[in-house]
Chain A
Amino acid sequence: MKVRARHTGTQVERYTGTQVTGTQLKRYTGRRVFRVTIFALLFSLVLSGVGIAAVAAQASTPTDDEVNAIAKQLYCPVCENTPLDVCPTQACHEWREEIRKLLAEGKSEEQIKQYFVDYYGARVLAEPPRQGFNWLVYVVPPVIIVAGIFVLFRALRSWSQQPPLHSHISDENGGAEGGEGEASQPADAYIARLEEELKKRK
């Protein structure tokens, strides 16, 4: 016989139309207590869940620093050359609020930047995307720096290999000093040829 637990044996009797013994009544009461306890537990769990969610929502409100960390990577077309994090215009203020809203929705930094690119174009990015002609921005400066270092290195090396001027003078005066004269042979030949040319023109 299936019965719904109610308050008293009389009520059970009323619902079922049968007489209830003391043992049966105790069992019904036990079940009732058990169900009430389960309900209370579930209710408190739901309440605590709501409380945790509210606290989490408060905690996840993005701070100005979090907003500005992304804003400084963006430029609003209204005020060119001013990063979004320090731009004082109303348009930029609204863009920062948009970032805050997207952060609160759980969007990542990359997703937010992509949202701005989709909505306003790639020109809003502080760093141009690595594609097409934009590659020049990333390739040309390092190439120029490396080429500059190479030229400088070569120039420094050739300067350091040139013999000092006084050694030529001493050679010219017949005062060659051992191995030093041999080392400066190419330069001597150059000077000798230069002098010869000068003599021809006299």
Chain B
Amino acid sequence: MNEPTTTAPLPRRGVPLWAQVVIWVALVALLALVGLGLRKAQNPIISPGSTVPDFTLTLFDGYTYQSASEVHLADLQGKVVVINFWASWCGPCEEEAAELEEAWRLYEPDGQVVFLGIAWTDTQENAKAYLKRFNITYPNGPDLGSRISAIFNRNLGVPETYIIDKTGVLRYAKIGPFTSVQEIRAAIEPLLAE
């Protein structure tokens, strides 16, 4: 009755264990990569309080800064840097164009404040026409390859203005247009006094 029976090995069913492990590891790795990519796309590289990485702005024809056709942020250490993103198709940008130019002309003689205009997703022809229309004289250039806007996470729209202090730290960010020269000065003066 109770004879020991020889137990035949059970037929193997389904995917082998090692394959399951490999599949799960690959899936988790893929999800992690996608998650990291999304996080990188959503978050700016910098936020107020962090040091702004160096970038190079190639200026439009007819614009120079200290006789050069390019501006390197690293060369502006010791100065307050005002970075304004704009586009010729952007209505609110027109509202602040005259104020920014007026503020630039106020600070330009001292050389302690540098204004940089960056045309975002604009065509060169239209951008130049815009600059001419508003008689903008401070250094301006296109955001080639959208490399500069990627630093500031320029996904929301234009205009946006960022102010970097003398040590290269981002201290001020404004989404939308300035309404007066006083508002611009109020953002710059505390950093200039440091």
Complex Cα distance A136/B124, Å? 34
Pick the contact of B8 from A78, A140, A186 — CB < 8 Å? A186
**Tally of contact residues, A, Cβ under 8 A:** 30
Which of B7, B37, B124 has its CB near the most chain A CB atoms (within 10 A)? Answer: B7
Tell which of A90, A154, A186, A196 touches B89, judged by Cβ atoms closer than 8 Å.
A90
Asked if A158 is at the interface of the complex by the 8 Å CB criterion, the answer is: yes
By a CB distance below 8 angstroms, the chain B residues around A77 are 121, 146, 155
User: B145 contacts the other chain (Cβ, under 8 Å)?
Assistant: yes
Of A12-20, A104-112, A116-124, which binds chain B?
A: A116-124
Contact A119 B155 (CB under 8 A): no
Minimum CB–CB distance for B22 against chain A, Å: 10
Find out whether the CB atom of B11 lies under 8 angstroms from the CB atom of A119: no
Would A94 and B155 count as touching, CB distance under 8 A? no
- Given the complex of chains A and B, what is the CA–CA distance between A97 and B126 in angstroms? 11
Of B15, B33, B123, most buried by chain A (CB within 10 Å of CB) is B123
In the complex the two chains form, is B126's CB within 8 Å of A147's CB?
Answer: no
Instruction: Tell me whether chain A's interface is mostly helix, strand or loop, or mixed.
Output: helix
- For B147, the closest partner residue in chain A by CB is A121
A117 proximity list for chain B (CB < 8 A): 145
A120's partner among B37, B126, B145 (CB-CB below 8 A) is B145
Say whether B146 contacts A120, CB under 8 Å.
Answer: yes
CB contacts (< 8 Å) of B13 on chain A: these are 158
Q: Of B8, B88, B142, which one neighbours A119 at CB under 8 angstroms?
A: B142
B33→A120 contact, CB < 8 A: no
Residues of chain A within 8 A (CB-CB) of B142 are 119
Q: Nearest chain A CB to B148's CB is how many angstroms away?
A: 10
A95 to B89 alpha-carbon distance, docked (Å) = 11
B33 interface neighbour in A97, A123, A133, Cβ under 8 Å: A133
Measured between beta carbons, the chain B residues less than 8 angstroms from A122 are 145
Within 8 Å by CB of B144, from A98, A119, A189, A193, lies A119
- Minimal Cβ-Cβ distance residue in B for A90: B89
- Give, as a whole number of angstroms, the nearest-CB distance from A146 to chain B: 13
Whether A120 pairs with B5 at a CB distance below 8 angstroms is: no
Pair A94/B5 contact, Cβ less than 8 Å: no
Q: What B residues does A50 contact at CB under 8 A? A: none
Instruction: Return the chain B residue nearest A200 by Cβ.
Output: B2
A122-B146 Cα distance, complex, nearest whole Å: 9
Q: Which of A123, A190, A196 contacts B5 (CB 8 A)?
A: A196
Cross-chain contact B89 with A76 (CB below 8 angstroms): no
Asked whether any CB of chain B lies closer than 8 Å to the CB of A149, the reply is: no
A190 and B121 contacting across the interface, CB-CB below 8 Å: no
Within 8 Å of chain B (Cβ to Cβ): is A151?
Answer: yes
Q: Is the CB of B144 within 8 A of A91?
A: no
Chain B contacts with A in 15-35, Cβ cutoff 8 A = 15, 23, 30, 33
Q: Give the residue name and chain of the A residue nearest to B143 (CB).
A: A120
Given the interface pairs A91-B121, A98-B123, A140-B30, the reply to whether A189 lies near B8 with Cβ below 8 Å is: yes
Given contact pairs A121-B146, A136-B33, A186-B11, enumerate 9 new A-B contacts (beta carbons under 8 Å): A90-B89, A98-B123, A119-B145, A121-B145, A121-B147, A140-B30, A151-B15, A158-B13, A190-B11
* A–B pairs, 11, beta carbons within 8 Å: A77-B146, A78-B157, A119-B145, A120-B121, A121-B145, A121-B146, A121-B147, A121-B150, A133-B33, A133-B37, A151-B15
